[in-house]
Structure 1
């Protein structure tokens, strides 16, 4: 599976990791998302015979590390050596292949394993994104504890932090916990939550949130602003669910409204409310 990856322009070690999935189905995230919408370099036509790359003032790698895989296989530079697989390609195959791609990618770039991770899909990618998230959620639940690799050095670390004098020096375990220090643990609660709602219209989201999901409306449908202009509208629900739209964004908002899209994305990553006034 071919991909483009762009580190964040500043402090990539501190920025989240985003995977961008394009739609179609069958359109390249490199050709669309990276080269036309949110990548740092956009392809521009100078003449009938000449194209060139220009810098994107509103690139999303200003605030995140962004990965663009070309999916499914046979799209762009992604390929399979077994043509018998091509008729089988569907949403589930795409999700499975993307998980395999991510596992291989994290193996090659292990420093990004600890980063916050976001899945974003455009157009038909709106199908890919939740199905990928659902597959990751299911596989995370099913991972057995024996899949964790404990090295010899890890045993030394565990022994070190179980020393009382070390704990006292670190001001740790001041309540004398009834169990020893361990490097890994399986908490009863899950850090991933599975929420499903059809995001068509605000009133449908409200019915779904208050019905099947059981969320309350925290902030009613209101405009949000960017540089003293109404950039879109937003609904906010409990447990971190937000529906935001971009005014005049069209089918590819990151292409037709680059500045507003980057503003929405930046506010999302910082977990802050979209501006409610023009000042």
Structure 2
């Protein structure tokens, strides 16, 4: 008598459950291609256009004992993905979603219309030049989760770096066709900690295993938290010089918040920050010259929360794009399309987690020591800054770079985009700095075209574009005029 084919039926049932739930802890297929097929996104709600590229989303386990898993969204390059590098993007907070910001309003190919239900293509998506990976990190952020509730109360820099490294190792097992590919890490804001710390963890892991498990070539951070002393010094100077705060408040900020941690501040520092917020008025401190979203009445609290909570650009700047993301990613059909496990989905998806940010544990006062270490490792390291940001302003970044005491290789100059000044740049031994004129805290949000030029230059290892027109020296101009 023939044996019943219960094994085959059970395997088929598991595949169906994975397709429906996207759970990473329910015996996923050993075949990575099969798992990729489970993670592949067929079509998104609100999508009225065809795609020339594939994209995938789902969970990757980072600690099976506690049941920690990070949610990812991977977008292949629009053309010839097998010849292009992989770029990881990390948003900060700490506690903010890379899906909410990096993907949905900055460098991703899909952006959300004001109705919160319709998508449109971003013409300046970074997947024009790279395969782009977005990860919600740490657990408790976005759709990332842990089966151990205490994990959400014990996040910090060290565990975030370790979990992110584990994620990458496991992700490359799921996508082996990208193993050995040139790999770069990018991010912004509190990503100024995440990005160099993860880079350091990768370098140490590669040295320990004596192989390039992750073929890290470099990293780039924007408006990045780097060094508490220099960051505070730059913030207060920027606000005062831009006419946002009074002389007295400026003096008190320097007196009471000097050397304070950006994550854990003193009561006296908090009090004067409240005064500074009141003096700012109802503006968006992340982009001081663009309109704030009328619906976001708490936006001025950004100086203390250090969040990425600004709008986005489509044809016209929309300061309320965060609200559009909240609507879209809470839609059940959107979560189904992205393989979000209903058993682990948040009761209400949010762009940032208050639980994560308010219970953050270890946060070093500086990562300049990490920069010094990694500069000597030969990585390509760039820092960029939107010059209209009052949260981690250009003054902060320049003070931090100056503290590294690096010799200048190419002096300060303007760089150009379509014949107009796009910003300024200076190249040091081991580090390149780029400012983006007119951009706020989220550079690709306010200046998407210039941001695409930035990533192209970074990936190619070339300098930012010079003027298309030869500027005649003043001495020669005087001679020609005479």
Question: If the length of structure 2 is used for normalisation, what is the TM-score?
Answer: 0.45
The reply on whether 1:268 has 2:458 as its aligned counterpart is: yes
Q: Which moved more, 1:194-203 or 1:261-270?
A: 194-203
Measured after TM superposition, the shift of residue 238 of structure 1 is: 2.5
Q: Structure 2 unaligned segments of length 5 or more: list them.
A: 1-69, 214-375, 384-393, 470-482
CA offsets per residue over residues 185-219 of structure 1, 9 Å max, x none? xxxxxx94479999834465245243xxxxx2111
Q: Which residue of 2 aligns with 1:228?
A: 419
Answer whether contact 2:382 2:458 (CA < 8 A) is retained. Answer: no
Question: If the length of structure 1 is used for normalisation, what is the TM-score?
Answer: 0.75
Answer whether contact 2:412 2:424 (CA < 8 A) is retained. Answer: yes
Pick the aligned partner of 2:153 from 74, 79, 87. Answer: 87
The reply on whether 1:111 has 2:111 as its aligned counterpart is: no
Measured after TM superposition, the shift of residue 66 of structure 1 is: 0.3
Tell me, in whole angstroms, the C-alpha distance in 1 between the residues paired with 2:420 and 2:93.
31
Question: CA 1:65/1:144 → structure 2, altered by over 3 Å: closer, same or farther?
Answer: closer
Q: Which moved more, 1:118-127 or 1:58-67?
A: 118-127
Q: Structure 1 unaligned segments of length 5 or more: list them.
A: 148-190, 211-215
The reply on whether 1:244 has 2:434 as its aligned counterpart is: yes
Q: Which residue of 1 aligns with 2:76?
A: 7
Question: CA 1:42/1:126 → structure 2, altered by over 3 Å: closer, same or farther?
Answer: same
Question: Secondary structure of 1:222's partner?
Answer: strand
Root-mean-square deviation (Å): 2.5
Measured after TM superposition, the shift of residue 144 of structure 1 is: 5.3
How many residues are aligned here? 227
The reply on whether 1:143 has 2:333 as its aligned counterpart is: no
Tell me, in whole angstroms, the C-alpha distance in 1 between the residues paired with 2:131 and 2:159.
25
Q: Which residue of 1 aligns with 2:292?
A: none
Answer whether contact 1:267 1:274 (CA < 8 A) is retained. Answer: yes
Question: CA 1:196/1:259 → structure 2, altered by over 3 Å: closer, same or farther?
Answer: closer
Answer whether contact 2:85 2:131 (CA < 8 A) is retained. Answer: yes
Measured after TM superposition, the shift of residue 230 of structure 1 is: 0.7
Q: Which residue of 1 aligns with 2:117?
A: 51
Question: CA 1:203/1:123 → structure 2, altered by over 3 Å: closer, same or farther?
Answer: closer
Answer whether contact 2:414 2:421 (CA < 8 A) is retained. Answer: yes
The reply on whether 1:30 has 2:99 as its aligned counterpart is: yes
Question: Secondary structure of 1:273's partner?
Answer: coil
Pick the aligned partner of 2:401 from 193, 205, 229. Answer: 205
Question: Secondary structure of 2:436's partner?
Answer: coil
Q: Which residue of 2 aligns with 1:96?
A: 162
The reply on whether 1:72 has 2:143 as its aligned counterpart is: no
Question: CA 1:82/1:201 → structure 2, altered by over 3 Å: closer, same or farther?
Answer: closer
The reply on whether 1:255 has 2:458 as its aligned counterpart is: no
